[in-house]
Amino acid sequence: MRYRKHLLLHGHVRAAKTTPTGEQIVLRYVAPGETFGLAMAIGAAHYPATAMAVEDSVVLIWPISAWRPMPLPAGEQR
């Protein structure tokens, strides 16, 4: 299961990356109801950050392959 979708149900998650000099930069805080960890699913070669729970959290994780395609507006084609 290489590509997964993460949905934060409860708690808070911090997404941060480490610079070559060792400094940690917070890219975003994830709140309940938000998704995260989609970079590789949309074409990135690797995840640009590391996600870490900053308090007790519950995350729903499922494979991208389980997503259904979004319907297109009337008259549009894929």
Radius of gyration of the chain (CA): 15
CATH of the domain at 47: 2.60.120.10
Q: Tell me, yes or no, whether 17 lies in a domain.
A: yes
Q: Tell me, yes or no, whether 75 lies in a domain.
A: no
pLDDT one-digit tens code per residue, 31-77: 999 988 877 666 677 778 889 999 999 999 888 777 666 676 777 76
Distance CA 63, CA 27 (A): 24
Distance CA 5, CA 46 (A): 15
Output the pLDDT for position 53: 96
Least confident range from 3-7, 20-24, 37-41, 48-52: namely 37-41
Tallying the residues shown for the chain, one arrives at 78
Q: Tell me, yes or no, whether 51 lies in a domain.
A: yes
Question: Around Cβ 59, how many Cβ atoms within 10 Å?
Answer: 17
Whole-model pTM: value is: 0.72
Q: Domain span at residue 16?
A: 4-66
